[in-house]
Amino acid sequence: MNRRLLLAVPFGAALLGGGAFYAMLRGLSNGSFDPRGVPSQLIDKPLPDFVLPGFTRADVVAAKRPVVINFFASWCVPCIDEAATLMALRKRGVPIWGIAYKDKDPQTNVFLARHGNPYARLARDNEGRVAIDWGVTGVPETYLIDAEGIVRWRFVGPLPDAAVEGLSKLVGA
């Protein structure tokens, strides 16, 4: 009996390890597990206070409705990719406020003229200091702020087309 139990130990360990490895691979392929991901610390927390040329935290709260806030930059290639999705969101009536990250004003303006301007309001974080308070690690990065100024959702990288439907529903547009 004891011997049989001892034999079960390595088999059990292999089964457990294999199961864990399978779960990890599945998560990697469907995107639910990202070992390089930096989870946002802001989810379900009030938006940190900020004042930028363009708009402030008070403006976001004063909107009295959910707002999508998108960090972008003219030097960011995936942002070009994302431009069409953001324009589609705008067409659905979703309020998108943009924050230009570590950019130069004239270059931001050229970018928006070339790829379309989906933003209802535009702020400029040319120093990138406010982005650090939000925990932004790169552009594009998108946040959903509810009517009370609480951060509800964050997405790193260009928004997929599927986000248009989901965000429109969430925002009630």
Partner 1 sequence: MIRALVLLAALAFSAPAWAIADPAEALPDPAQEARAVQIGSQLRCLVCQNESIEDSGADLARDLRKIVRQHVAAGETEAEITRWMVARYGDFVRLRPPFNWLTALLWASPIIALGVGIALATGLRRKAEPPAPLSTDEQQRLARLMEN
What is the binding site for partner 1 (CB under 8 A)? 36, 38-39, 41, 102, 128-129, 132-135, 137-138
**What is the Cα–Cα distance from 22 to 28, expressed in whole angstroms?**
10
Q: Which is nearer to partner 1, 43 or 51 (CB)?
A: 43
Q: Provide the minimum distance between the beta carbon of 66 and partner 1 in the complex, in angstroms, as a whole number.
A: 23
- Letter for the amino acid at 130? V
d(CA 41, CA 122): 24
- Which of 95/128 has CB closer to partner 1? 128
Alpha-carbon span 97 to 112, nearest angstrom? 13
DSSP run (H or E) holding 115: helix 105-115
Q: How far is the CB of 17 from partner 1 (least distance, A)?
A: 13
Question: What is the closest distance, in whole angstroms, from the C-beta atom of residue 6 to partner 1 in the complex?
Answer: 9
Backbone dihedral angles phi then psi of residue 152, each to the nearest 5 degrees: -110, -25
Q: Which is nearer to partner 1, 105 or 133 (CB)?
A: 133
Minimum CB distance to partner 1, residue 88 (Å): 29
User: Does an H or E element contain 153, and which?
Assistant: strand 151-156
Shortest reach from residue 166's CB to partner 1, in Å: 24
Closest residue by Cα to residue 98 from 131, 121, 67:
121
Which is closer to partner 1, CB of 95 or CB of 138?
138
Contacts of 19 (CB under 8 A, 6+ apart): none
Number of other residues whose CB lies within 10 A of the CB of residue 126: 15
Residue 38: CB minimum distance to partner 1, A: 5
Based on CB atoms, which residue is closest to partner 1, 26 or 129? 129
How far is C-alpha 95 from the chain's CA centre?
A: 15
Nearer to partner 1, 71 or 119 (CB): 71
